[in-house]
Amino acid sequence: GAVVSQHPSRVICKSGTSVKIECRSLDFQATTMFWYRQFPKQSLMLMATSNEGSKATYEQGVEKDKFLINHASLTLSTLTVTSAHPEDSSFYICSASRTGNTEAFFGQGTRLTVV
């Protein structure tokens, strides 16, 4: 299967600072990438969909100015949590697809803790 690498796996930051999470498709070109948030013992909640070279499409209730997504190349998408607060602490996961209607492969996830 295809490999998606997400970095960092864990990060602790202070309230008010920004954190960037990277998602890379290592052995394929990803036209579409997805960003999810997962709370403990819950399912994955889609935050936004990004297509290479286009602005991300955010799900209802997700603040686009707080969760900045960039998908500037076919192998890299980034999620920046701006002005982080403790309630932003969560497990963030990306996935990547060659095209929108093909299988998606997930990164390892990033555990964000805001103190």
Partner 1 sequence: GENVEQHPSTLSVQEGDSAVIKCTYSDSASNYFPWYKQELGKGPQLIIDIRSNVGEKKDQRIAVTLNKTAKHFSLHITETQPEDSAVYFCAAKGDTGGFKTIFGAGTRLFVKA
Enumerate binding residues for partner 1 (CB under 8 A). 1, 4, 6, 32, 34, 42-44, 46, 49, 57, 93, 95, 97, 100-101, 103-109, 111
Buried b (16+ CB within 10 A) or exposed e, 59-91: eeebeeeebbbebeebbbbbbebeebeeebbbb
Extract the tokens encoding 24: 């890379």
Hey, how many other C-beta atoms are within 10 angstroms of the C-beta on 98?
Answer: 17
C-alpha–C-alpha distance, residues 90 and 100, integer Å: 26
Shortest approach of partner 1 to residue 16 CB, angstroms? 27
Q: Beta 32-38 vs 44-51: how paired, if at all?
A: antiparallel
Shortest approach of partner 1 to residue 40 CB, angstroms? 10
Shortest approach of partner 1 to residue 28 CB, angstroms? 14
Hey, how many other C-beta atoms are within 10 angstroms of the C-beta on 113?
Answer: 14
CB-nearer residue toward partner 1: 46 or 74 = 46
Shortest approach of partner 1 to residue 86 CB, angstroms? 20
